[in-house]
């Protein structure tokens, strides 16, 4: 299997292009799923304070440090799983926005994760009506300067939120994590990201599983003798998106990461592009307060 490539963020920090999303993974099972994912080759994990499973992710990471690294030992650790090989993202929740609250929320996340630093820290939603995202981001810039986070960014920001943030931001966000899949292709936002040097990170990259049944996806999968999930994830990869599919079972974890050894043709890409219909599976950013 070919591992996901590491691609540079706008500050030179490298991120695996494909990681594991942990939304709706209970904290009790998160450690087991992350351990399975590590064995399958995942090194990039996406959590959030709101998911309630930072501690489960942290347990799997600390178990790596405590288990034997030699092949054949019990609880054998996959190679290349030192802290510097992992990429951990977490996010500040809406009710913790504001300068001081964000600094406190970050400390809590760090304790939950059992880590000394986080690789990427994101504002989970703009919550524009609260009017706090610029102050929240200032706290993230402080954390960045202190070396407690290797990169900072946002999630669910619309073009106008990015414009407003950039009026006061000193550090251009490395990432905007947005809902993105063949039924919601977000062309305007992606063009803006490209112009600003912000990486697009796709959440619900499989449309929460719904896009897997699309006839165009099924036809493309049959033509390549791949699964529908692999076709959609490969579409993201070829578009240059960072992608964080969630899966709970070992077979799906493995299936989803095995997308770096085939190529969709221009005709496949055109067929998948034609599926855009502006259909969300999650909330619109303007409806989250
Ligand atoms: N920033 C935000 O506001 C935000 C919002 C939503 C999500 N996210 C992030 O994005 C990640 C992914 O999004 P998501 O979890 O909403 O949706 P998703 O990754 O598009 O879809 C996950 C669903 O697809 C199923 N699935 C996964 N691989 C499959 C495969 N190979 N074949 C068939 N079904 C498959 C999963 O089932 P099983 O779990 O049963 O295997 C699950 O029901 C989240 O976990 C989270 O980290 C961020």
pLDDT tens digits for range 111-166: 999 999 999 999 999 999 999 999 999 999 999 999 999 999 999 999 999 999 99
User: Which pTM was predicted?
Assistant: 0.97
pLDDT given for residue 222 in this prediction: 98
CB 25 within 8 A of CB 33: yes
Q: Would you list the DSSP string of 44-75?
A: EEE--GGGT-HHHHHHHHHHHHHS--STTSTT
Query: Candidates 24, 42, 155, 203: which one to mutate for ligand 1, based on the most atoms within 8 Å of Cβ?
Result: 203
What lines the ligand 1 site, CB under 6 Å? 21-23, 46, 124, 155-156, 177, 203-209, 212, 227, 229, 244-249, 252, 255-256, 282
Domains annotated on the chain, with CATH: 15-206+241-247 (3.20.20.100)
Residue 217 alpha carbon to ligand 1 centre in Å: 17
At 105, is the pLDDT very low, low, confident or very high (cuts 50, 70, 90)? Answer: very high
Over range 166-183, report the average pLDDT.
98
Active site residue 144: no
Tokens 């926005």 correspond to: 97
| Phi, psi values for residue 142, rounded to 5° | -60, -45
Residue 203 alpha carbon to ligand 1 centre in Å: 8
CB 233 within 8 A of CB 244: no
Close Cβ partners of 23 (under 8 Å, ≥ 6 residues apart): 48, 51, 203, 246
Question: How do beta strands 20-21 and 14-16 pair?
Answer: unpaired
| Mean pLDDT score of the chain | 96
Condensed to tens digits (0 to 9), the pLDDT of residues 190-221 reads 999 999 999 999 999 999 999 999 999 999 99
Condensed to tens digits (0 to 9), the pLDDT of residues 14-50 reads 999 999 999 999 999 999 999 999 999 999 999 999 9
Catalytic one of 51, 121, 137, 144: 51
């Amino acid at each position: 299997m070919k591992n996901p490539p590491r691609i540079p963020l706008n500050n030179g920090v490298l991120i695996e292009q494909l990681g594991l999303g942990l939304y709706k993974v209970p904290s009790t099972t998160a450690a087991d799923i992350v351990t399975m994912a590590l064995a399958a080759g995942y090194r990039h994990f996406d959590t959030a304070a709101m998911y309630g499973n930072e501690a489960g992710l942290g347990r799997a990471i600390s178990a790596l440090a405590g288990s034997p690294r030699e092949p054949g030992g019990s609880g054998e650790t996959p190679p290349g799983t030192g802290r510097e090989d992992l990429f951990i993202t977490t996010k500040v929740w809406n009710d913790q926005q504001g300068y001081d609250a964000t600094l406190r929320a970050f400390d809590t996340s760090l304790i939950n994760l059992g880590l000394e630093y986080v690789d990427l820290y994101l504002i989970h939603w703009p919550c524009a009506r609260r009017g706090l995202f610029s102050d929240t981001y200032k706290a993230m810039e402080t954390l960045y300067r202190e070396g407690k986070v290797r990169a900072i960014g946002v999630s669910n920001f619309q073009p106008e939120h990015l414009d407003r943030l950039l009026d006061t931001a000193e550090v251009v966000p490395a990432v905007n994590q947005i809902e993105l899949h063949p039924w919601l292709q977000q062309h305007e936002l992606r063009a803006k990201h490209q112009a600003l040097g912000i990486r697009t990170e796709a959440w619900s990259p499989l449309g929460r599983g719904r896009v897997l049944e699309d006839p165009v996806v099924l036809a493309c999968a049959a033509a390549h003798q791949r699964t529908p999930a692999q076709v959609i994830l490969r579409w993201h990869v070829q578009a240059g998106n960072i992608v964080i599919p969630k899966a709970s079972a070992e077979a799906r974890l493995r299936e989803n990461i095995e997308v770096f050894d085939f190529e969709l043709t221009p005709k496949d890409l055109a067929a998948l592009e034609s599926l855009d219909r502006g259909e969300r599976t999650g909330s619109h950013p303007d409806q989250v307060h």
